[in-house]
A and B are shown apart, each in its own frame.
Chain A
Amino acid sequence: MASWAEVELPVLPTTVIGSYPRPKWLRDFINRFRAGRVSWKQLAEAFDDAVVAVVRDQEVAGVDIPSDGEMRRDEMVEYFAERIGGFKFYGPVRVWGNNYFRKPAVISRVEYREPIVVKEYLYLRGVARARVVKVTITGPYTIADWSYNEYYSSKEDLAFDLAKVVNSEIKKLEEAGALYVQVDEPALTTHPEEMEWAVEAVNRAVEGVNIKVGLHVCYSSYEVLRPYYDRLNVSQLALEFANRGFRGLRVLKGLNKELGFGVVDVHSRRVETPEEVARAIGKVMRYVRPECLYINPDCGLKLLPRGVAKEKLRVMVEGVKIVRGRLRRRGIEKVVLRRGTTCE
């Protein structure tokens, strides 16, 4: 396993946000499991095999830091709510178009029962060729915001209890050897009046953690996030920009952390070109130094057909290679895996 002292990455490290399309055979297998035709043990093996397959997709595309594609997770809040004490499910709700998730309801005090994604990390670590892998965890604010609150007197109280749960889980991952965890907080900016305590909840979730922590926020107002760049105790902000046509990059002025820059749109099946990706990176480098830039899709890729997702990753890496060629001429070739909360 890589230790901190030796972890070096090519400049503009490429990574994913987390989710990746489940292979068709896995979806069929899950349906068979739900129909009672295969056992849980068989399904668990299928999940493992799917992780191997999608990690391989990422490796073939040339991604530097893969994830396990969240093969075992139906949805980012529901997966954690099923494993944290205090939640109940009533049924699916629509998120957009014909896409649904089972939004949980909090009916009693939330509690950390046992490690949630540590086994997933260890399996990924074992099958990935890359030195660094990414583990994603849904953040306390988003779990609170995307749940129905039937128990706590306020969403704030719920979020802070969830922060304790998330903090316990990240510490377990650190103990298991994880180097890079991403806290997913797509809801973070949706209630500007709650930002003060929402940021504090995120900080509580990463308190006492000594590994690299990224924070993913998407489809949001980054103007609302901007005043909190300094206060967020994370190494990196991973933000979506392709879906918004790279409008509003000026919000990055003054960012004192690494940026995970979203260069491909996960809600469009049109595959971008390497030149488009390179152009977008060129634009963002007006605001963020290349040594502080990671390159990733806007968000999880799971809603795309697998072939399209794979192609988007390939194109993303090809686009990065164009820019790396230019940077090489300036003598910029490597970066280290940072744990610190600043990069200026």
Chain B
Amino acid sequence: MGYVARATLNGSYPRYPGVARLYSRLASGKLSEDGFGREVLKYVRKLFTQLKVSGVEFFTDGMFRWDDIFNPLIRFVRGVEVDGLTRFYDNNFFFRSPVVRGRLGLREGCPIPTWFRESLRVAAEVFGNGSTLKQPLPGPITLATNSVDEFYGDPATLVHEWGSEVLEPLINELVRAGCRVVELHEPSLTWGGVKQAVLSSGVKVLVEIIESVKADVWVLTYFKPVSRFRRYFSELSRAVVGVDLTADRGRGYLRLIKECGVGRVMLGAVDSRNTLMEGVKEVVREVRAALRAGATEVYVGNNAPMDFIPEVVASRKVKLLGRVARYLRGG
């Protein structure tokens, strides 16, 4: 193994003030869609430069073109209408929810693979080789549980259709655009309140995706501990499984490694819901605990999307991730 743990940025990074201004200009008609796309790449470059300096080798493009984990993806899905605002789990953060009114299917011309290709080009310019750009997407369980279903009438079918009719074709397009790693965000997998049958169907759908697509799949859970739901994870052992350590003070996640055959883990050790800074040694202890438990591949990153903290704090936390990775390499 050539590394002990790698630093990773998962999901979104807070929009820079300049990105917020681009949105305002777009909304007021002072900037075209094309102009917006060109301008936003400058901020993607800024983020990548910051990540490179910090020593973060696995990352996303910050999702600056996304409002939340569902939007704009759901605007490019047949059978879906975009509804009112819904709270994102227990956060003071809201998303427009998908109302399923017809058979689901990915529309032609979904721009997400094109955006990925553009960000990948910038990543290559900033990093050269040796870095990995990931594409975050909502997982099928999270999509289904956050949908208002007015068509299928059966949650298990809904979760299956999100997976087979939307996510799989999209990931295949992303792979053609050069994507090698996909993050599937699955807070609903461990949130609680989802029927066992739906979770079981959802995990089967995840397994189908993991086995069929030509990309490495990360299944990221957050906001809740994983231990209550660990039986579902034994089927996901091919994936990198993300756990939220800030929600799991009792280290219940170690049982995934010891008992469920999960060897590839992303430790969400840096809290993207609080401004309080973690200590390098405290994070290092968690990595070592995972390695002692038998983890074969460890990533250390933010526990959840970073929209919940100011950019100035997110920047410090990203630097901390880099310091953790360097510390573990003995640097």
Which residues of A does B touch, CB under 8 Å?
A: 90-98, 100, 103, 105, 145-146, 148-150, 186-187, 190-191, 219-220, 243-245, 265, 267-268
Size range of the chain B interface in the assembly:
20 to 34
Which has the most chain B C-beta neighbours within 10 Å: A96, A103, A146? Answer: A96
Q: Return the contact of A90 from the options B68, B91, B96, B310 (Cβ within 8 A).
A: B310
Q: Return the contact of A92 from the options B84, B92, B310 (Cβ within 8 A).
A: B310
The reply to whether A93 and B95 contact each other, CB–CB distance below 8 Å, is: no
The reply to whether B275 and A150 contact each other, CB–CB distance below 8 Å, is: yes
Q: Return the contact of A187 from the options B92, B310, B313 (Cβ within 8 A).
A: B92
The reply to whether B20 and A98 contact each other, CB–CB distance below 8 Å, is: yes
Q: Which residue of A lies closest to B316 (CB)?
A: A90
- The docked-state distance in angstroms from the alpha carbon of A334 to that of B90 is 40
Q: Is B312 an interface residue (CB 8 A)?
A: yes
* Chain B positions within 8 Å of A190 at CB level: 87, 90-92
Q: Which residue of B lies closest to A92 (CB)?
A: B310
A250 to chain B, nearest CB (A): 17
The reply to whether A94 and B14 contact each other, CB–CB distance below 8 Å, is: yes
Interface residues of B in 89-113 (CB under 8 A from A): 90-96
The reply to whether B20 and A219 contact each other, CB–CB distance below 8 Å, is: no
- The docked-state distance in angstroms from the alpha carbon of A190 to that of B90 is 5
Which residues of B does A touch, CB under 8 Å?
A: 14-15, 17, 20, 23-24, 27, 67-68, 84-87, 90-96, 274-276, 307-313
Label chain B's interface by main secondary structure.
mixed
The reply to whether B24 and A96 contact each other, CB–CB distance below 8 Å, is: no
Q: A93-B14, A146-B92 are in contact. Are A219 and B275 (CB under 8 A)?
A: no
* Chain A positions within 8 Å of B308 at CB level: 93
Q: Which residue of B lies closest to A102 (CB)?
A: B310
* Chain B positions within 8 Å of A95 at CB level: 92-94
The reply to whether B87 and A150 contact each other, CB–CB distance below 8 Å, is: no
Q: Which residue of B lies closest to A190 (CB)?
A: B90
Q: Return the contact of B24 from the options A98, A186, A191, A219 (Cβ within 8 A).
A: A98
Q: A95-B93, A219-B85, A265-B84 are in contact. Are A148 and B24 (CB under 8 A)?
A: no
The reply to whether B310 and A103 contact each other, CB–CB distance below 8 Å, is: yes
- The docked-state distance in angstroms from the alpha carbon of A220 to that of B113 is 34
The reply to whether A267 and B84 contact each other, CB–CB distance below 8 Å, is: yes
Q: Return the contact of A98 from the options B23, B90, B312, B313 (Cβ within 8 A).
A: B23
- The docked-state distance in angstroms from the alpha carbon of A93 to that of B312 is 10
- The docked-state distance in angstroms from the alpha carbon of A247 to that of B43 is 41
Q: Which residue of A lies closest to B89 (CB)?
A: A190
8 contacts between A and B (CB under 8 A): A91-B312, A96-B68, A98-B15, A145-B92, A149-B276, A186-B92, A219-B94, A220-B87
- The docked-state distance in angstroms from the alpha carbon of A112 to that of B94 is 31
- The docked-state distance in angstroms from the alpha carbon of A105 to that of B311 is 14
* Chain A positions within 8 Å of B20 at CB level: 92, 98, 100
- The docked-state distance in angstroms from the alpha carbon of A94 to that of B24 is 14
- The docked-state distance in angstroms from the alpha carbon of A265 to that of B83 is 12
B146 to chain A, nearest CB (A): 13
The reply to whether B86 and A91 contact each other, CB–CB distance below 8 Å, is: no
Q: A219-B86, A219-B94, A244-B84 are in contact. Are A149 and B310 (CB under 8 A)?
A: no
- The docked-state distance in angstroms from the alpha carbon of A244 to that of B99 is 11
* Chain B positions within 8 Å of A187 at CB level: 92
B84 to chain A, nearest CB (A): 4
* Chain A positions within 8 Å of B307 at CB level: 93-94
* Chain B positions within 8 Å of A220 at CB level: 87
Q: Return the contact of A93 from the options B84, B94, B96, B310 (Cβ within 8 A).
A: B310
- The docked-state distance in angstroms from the alpha carbon of A103 to that of B92 is 10
20 other A-B residue contacts (CB within 8 Å) besides A93-B307, A98-B15, A103-B310: A90-B310, A91-B311, A91-B312, A93-B14, A93-B310, A95-B92, A97-B67, A98-B23, A98-B27, A98-B67, A105-B275, A148-B274, A149-B276, A190-B90, A190-B91, A190-B92, A191-B90, A243-B85, A244-B84, A245-B84
The reply to whether A243 and B84 contact each other, CB–CB distance below 8 Å, is: yes
- The docked-state distance in angstroms from the alpha carbon of A244 to that of B87 is 12
Q: Return the contact of A96 from the options B23, B27, B85, B311 (Cβ within 8 A).
A: B85
The reply to whether A149 and B93 contact each other, CB–CB distance below 8 Å, is: no
Q: A93-B307, A96-B85 are in contact. Are A150 and B276 (CB under 8 A)?
A: yes
The reply to whether B310 and A91 contact each other, CB–CB distance below 8 Å, is: yes
A247 to chain B, nearest CB (A): 9
* Chain B positions within 8 Å of A103 at CB level: 92, 310
The reply to whether B15 and A94 contact each other, CB–CB distance below 8 Å, is: yes
A138 to chain B, nearest CB (A): 12
A155 to chain B, nearest CB (A): 11
The reply to whether B94 and A148 contact each other, CB–CB distance below 8 Å, is: no
* Chain A positions within 8 Å of B86 at CB level: 219
A157 to chain B, nearest CB (A): 15
* Chain B positions within 8 Å of A267 at CB level: 84-85
The reply to whether A96 and B312 contact each other, CB–CB distance below 8 Å, is: no
Q: Which residue of B lies closest to A186 (CB)?
A: B92
Q: Which residue of A lies closest to B24 (CB)?
A: A98
Q: Which residue of A lies closest to B276 (CB)?
A: A150
A289 to chain B, nearest CB (A): 28
Q: Which residue of B lies closest to A107 (CB)?
A: B275
The reply to whether A90 and B94 contact each other, CB–CB distance below 8 Å, is: no
Which has the most chain B C-beta neighbours within 10 Å: A98, A103, A267? Answer: A98
B192 to chain A, nearest CB (A): 10
- The docked-state distance in angstroms from the alpha carbon of A25 to that of B298 is 54
A57 to chain B, nearest CB (A): 23
Q: A91-B311, A93-B307, A268-B84 are in contact. Are A148 and B93 (CB under 8 A)?
A: no
Q: Which residue of A lies closest to B92 (CB)?
A: A146
Q: Which residue of A lies closest to B21 (CB)?
A: A98
Which has the most chain B C-beta neighbours within 10 Å: A100, A146, A148, A220? Answer: A148
